[in-house]
Amino acid sequence: MRKLLSVLCLLPSMALAAGEGAWQDSSTGITLNYRGESASSSPLSSRQPVSGLMTLVAWRYTLNGPTPAGLLVRLCSQSRCVELEGQSGTTRGFANVPAIEPLRFVWEVPGGGRLIPALKVQSNQVIVNYR
């Protein structure tokens, strides 16, 4: 029993030694005043050097106010974008993208004219799992 417990305690460090891990980052959001324009969050990235490829990315964003009709939200790396459904979730859409690549939220409300009220994003967050 003691041997099993010591092996279970070593599993997280063995996974890191094998190159598996995760990083998370968050930022304050943007304000979008007009339809037909897009806005990008600041880059979200690991604070430490990482190597490996993304496997699963979890996201979450919070709005200050109502969701405008037709809101399009994408999460983008340097090489691809994934359209997001809802204010939180997970995606495997970045599989095999280098884990060192920063991610950005991109916000857009199609059409033209002023958004009343403006789209106000309070916060953005990602958790990137990699191997």
pLDDT tens by residue, 30-88: 999 999 999 999 999 999 999 999 999 999 999 998 999 999 999 999 999 999 999 99
Residue 4 has pLDDT above 60, yes or no: no
pLDDT at res. 8? 33
- For residue 83, being part of any structural domain is answered with yes
Domain count, the chain: 1
Q: What percent of the chain has pLDDT over 70?
A: 85
Q: Please, what's the b/e burial string for 36-58 (b: 16 or more CB within 10 A of its CB; e: otherwise)?
A: eeebebeebbbeeebebebbbbe
| Confidence tier at 94 by pLDDT (50, 70, 90) | very high
- For residue 50, being part of any structural domain is answered with yes
- For residue 27, being part of any structural domain is answered with yes
- For residue 103, being part of any structural domain is answered with yes
Name the more confident of 46 and 13: 46
- For residue 120, being part of any structural domain is answered with yes
- For residue 15, being part of any structural domain is answered with no
Domain ranges, residue 35: 21-130
Tally Cβ neighbours within 10 Å of residue 88.
Answer: 12
For residue 47, give the CATH number of its domain. Answer: 2.60.120.260
Judged by DSSP in three states, 108 sits in strand
pLDDT at res. 15? 42
Where residue 36 falls (left for φ over 0; alpha for ψ -120 to 50; beta otherwise) is left
Residue 17 has pLDDT above 60, yes or no: no
